[in-house]
Amino acid sequence: MPIYDYNVKAPSGDDIPLANYRNKVLLIVNTASGCGFAPQLEGLEKLYQSYKKQGFEVLAFPCNQFMGQEPLADEQIASQCKLTYGTTFPFFKKVDVKGADAHPLFKHLTDEAPGLLSGKIKWNFTKFLIDREGNVSKRFAPTTKPKKIESAIVELL
């Protein structure tokens, strides 16, 4: 099932259909501004700037489930990340990515690409690469730096 059937929320609370991203290659990332992996936001921005004209988007979903590493309010996250890391790609409303209250999109992503040992997301900056048809192509661990993902993105573009 493609991801286009899901809606997500803007920081303002407005619904955003993922169908708006149809025919694009997407990298969906659960982020946290206070995480040790947050400097990866710079690398994600570089990928975004390099390939956005070819139909590539980075979609950031802040999450506070891992040691409270996203303490900022929804409306503050994008501006803080822009100030600190120069990000211009979209940030959405905070979501749960695991457990009973996990957002349906992340339930779908982990069902499609379960990862090692268990399907659940174990930490911030887990990355899901989505092809132009809205299917999960690959899952990358939090430790995988954005530069290491570039060849997989180019392959889908």
- pLDDT tens by residue, the chain, 157 residues: 789 999 999 999 999 999 999 999 999 999 999 999 999 999 999 999 999 999 999 999 999 999 999 999 998 999 999 999 999 999 999 999 999 999 999 999 998 877 655 678 889 999 999 999 999 999 999 999 999 999 999 999 9
Beta strands in the chain (DSSP E): 7-9, 15-17, 25-31, 56-62, 127-130, 136-140
Q: Residue 107: which residues within 8 A CB-CB, separation 6 or more?
A: none
pTM of the predicted protein model:
0.95
pLDDT of residue 118: 62
Note the maximum CA span of the chain: 37
For 135, other C-beta atoms within 10 Å of its C-beta total 12
Domains assigned to the chain = 3-156 (3.40.30.10)
Q: Is 81 an active-site residue?
A: no
Q: Identify any residues that bridge with 57 across adjacent strands, giving them in sequence order.
A: 26
Active-site pick, 35, 41, 77, 149: 35
